[in-house]
Amino acid sequence: MSTRLKIVLALFIVVLILQLPVFNPEKNYVDADTHVDITDKYEVPMAIQMDLYVACYNCHSNYTEDYPWYYNIQPVSWWMNGHIKKAKQALNFSEFATYPPDTAAKKFENLHKVMKEQSMPLKSYLLLHDEAKLTDDQYQHIADWAKETQKKVENEIDSTKTF
């Protein structure tokens, strides 16, 4: 057997072994307190709730609704799991109500920014998730709402400051 063939064969075996279920990261189903979702503390119009739910919650929440079949293939699973972890660290709609006011204001500001830039959902996600594509109008609505809510939160912070 040529060296090259041996290497290819060895790689093939490694890839096969990685498919064993023990290498699958745990799925993102956190059985968490359901009263700290963004909607438990902030006013989110129904249309925007639906948009966030459809386009963002698979990454930015405690519950990934839609694991596609290819999630069970390595290293796809690690790659996707990495995105979900990073996304949740940056912004978790399921726990948004636990953010202190100054953090929440900052998150709304970032939300406004990425909606203006249309940089979320991730491009790689949109390739396989048509349902998560937002129209210009939807981006604009979410951006306006985020800015408005940011201002409300900041006003509340100011009004509780005593000098």
Question: How far from the centroid of its chain's Cα atoms is residue 148's Cα?
Answer: 22
Q: Which amino acid is at 121?
A: P
C-beta of 7 vs 148, nearer to ligand HEC = 148
Footprint on this chain of ligand HEC (rule: CB under 6 A): 55-56, 58-60, 83, 86-87, 90-91, 107, 110-111, 114, 120-122, 125
How far apart, in whole angstroms, are the C-alpha atoms of residue 130 and residue 17?
32
Q: Which is nearer to ligand HEC, 16 or 50 (CB)?
A: 50
Whole-angstrom CA distances from 84 to 56, 120, 121 are: 10, 13, 12
The least CB distance from residue 79 to ligand HEC, in Å, is 10
Return the number of the residue (33 or 117) whose C-beta is nearest ligand HEC: 117
Cα distance between the two ends of the chain: 82
Rounded least distance, CB 14 to ligand HEC, Å = 27
